[in-house]
A and B are shown apart, each in its own frame.
Chain A
């Protein structure tokens, strides 16, 4: 069984069926790029994986453990969902950094709050906090922002903010890191620095699912590409297959439209 197994996911908003019977799997260390036009359900799929939406049907398992099953209400309890969503990290299209905290605090906040639940927190508070701080600094140096630790989000550029968001998502060591169009809100000249960071993560075997409109980037960084249209996975395969020789007519249409733009 694969590391992540998504089976038969369906999601409706009112009468609109946004996801129809989505099946896919992901191996550890693999990078999947999800492409498709707006409204095809890519973002909703990511949001389902991160428990921001609750699928109407289907199941999600990570590492052979069912973490969500629409038929089984015990997998949907609020208290458990909170723990289980930590399997996933999510980087948002518009960063969603916390404006009142410094760059470093943005990265460490969640870990600090989570540490309070450790049984030895009271005795070893100082060491635990220090360890979290060190890790935060390390992550920020990984995304090239060591010199911005004490800045507030509004003081840095969009590309830098998105890199902070990536460090923040990594801070809790998620098994699978998800990106929801991470460069769509950025000026063209700023997308490069973000893509470079993601590429570096891919080289370090980070397991990732990337929803993107950057076709060249998807081809470059992904091990597998999924093309979605109208709530279904139309086609998936290696970047060479999907971009070089798409089997489905819909994929071909989408890609030609893209090349023209």
Chain B
């Protein structure tokens, strides 16, 4: 009995790493994705080309590979930069890889959302003498938000489960923790990790539904 509660508390503790990675990733990738989206829609062709190539590379390669390259790359290339030693370095490297990866996915969702607002909305703002930024913030932004909530929600839910990939650079997240037990022949902790993810995603789903409902007062 005592052993079970010890295992559960260790699983819970390691799940905190998943949660932290989740929160930091969203915190930075949501705004960064916006910048990438603007870059990939820029009228300045080299910037647009650069951003779209970057998005292609990031979306075209596995996140697991990106984690490995970002963590080991600086050392292998003899760069002067190196990650802090120990757990914090592994965590920061994971955050960086996740932020870049998710920002690219978000940027494409933003771009789709912005481009799907009918041209007439911009023109209506223009003929009413609004500035470009007034049109963006007062006319299009909320329409974009409403359109992108479902696809963003999808990515956010995927992110919850992707955080488990951080173990590839030895971040002690929940599945790595459970793996230590299964290596010793105790299999149930590994199954139990599923419950953590399920509960987390369940909460997110409720939150996303609430936001969708909040924005249901108008139609686009």
Binding site for B on A (CB under 8 A): 50-52, 82-83, 85-86, 88-90, 92, 94, 96-101, 109-110, 113-114, 152-154, 168-169, 172
Between A and B, 14 residue pairs with Cβ closer than 8 Å are A52-B127, A82-B129, A85-B127, A92-B123, A92-B124, A96-B118, A96-B120, A99-B219, A99-B220, A110-B130, A113-B130, A114-B129, A154-B218, A154-B219
Kindly state whether residue B88 has any CB partner on chain A within 8 Å: no
B218 to chain A, nearest CB (A): 5
CB-CB under 8 A for A113 and B134, given A85-B126, A86-B129, A100-B143: yes
Partner of A99, one of B126, B127, B143: B143
Say whether chain B's binding surface is mostly helix, strand, loop, or mixed: helix
Q: Is A100's CB under 8 angstroms from B127's CB?
A: no
Residues on B with C-beta less than 8 A from A169 are 127-128
- Cβ contacts under 8 Å, B128 to chain A: 109-110, 168-169, 172
Kindly state whether residue B121 has any CB partner on chain A within 8 Å.
Answer: yes
Closest to B132 in A: A78
Set A51, A100, A109, A110: member contacting B142, Cβ < 8 A: A100
Residues of B within 8 A of A88 (CB): 127
User: Smallest Cβ distance from B125 to chain A, in angstroms?
Assistant: 8
- Give the contact-size bracket for chain B: 20 to 34
Does B81 make an interface contact (CB < 8 A)? no
Q: Which residue of A lies closest to B145 (CB)?
A: A100
Pairwise interchain contact A82-B131, C-beta atoms closer than 8 A: yes
> In chain B, what residue has the closest Cβ to A101?
B218
Given the complex of chains A and B, what is the CA–CA distance between A96 and B118 in angstroms?
9
Q: Which of A86, A94, A100 contacts B120 (CB 8 A)?
A: A94
User: Please, what's the 1-or-0 string for B47-83, where 1 marks a CB less than 8 Å from any CB in chain A?
Assistant: 0000000000000000000000000000000000000
In the assembled complex, the Cα of A82 lies from the Cα of B142 at a distance in Å of 23
A96 touches B123 (CB 8 A): yes
Contact between chains at A152 and B218 (CB < 8 Å): yes
Q: How far is the CA of A93 from the CA of B121 in the complex (A)?
A: 13
Q: Give every chain B residue within 8 A of A110 (Cβ-Cβ).
A: 125, 128-130
Q: With the chains together, A85 CA to B218 CA distance in Å? A: 29
Q: Decide yes or no: A50 and B127 within 8 Å by CB, A98-B139, A152-B218 being known contacts.
A: yes
| Docked complex Cα distance between A99 and B127 (Å) | 17
Q: At the interface, yes or no: B138 with Cβ under 8 Å from chain A?
A: yes
Most buried by B among A50, A83, A97, A99: A99
What A residues does B220 contact at CB under 8 A? 99-100
Bound state CA distance, A97 and B126, in angstroms? 13
Q: Which of A89, A96, A100 has a CB less than 8 Å from the CB of B218?
A: A100
Closest to B120 in A: A96
Residues of A within 8 A of B143 (CB): 99-100
- State whether the Cβ of B44 lies closer than 8 Å to any Cβ in chain A: no
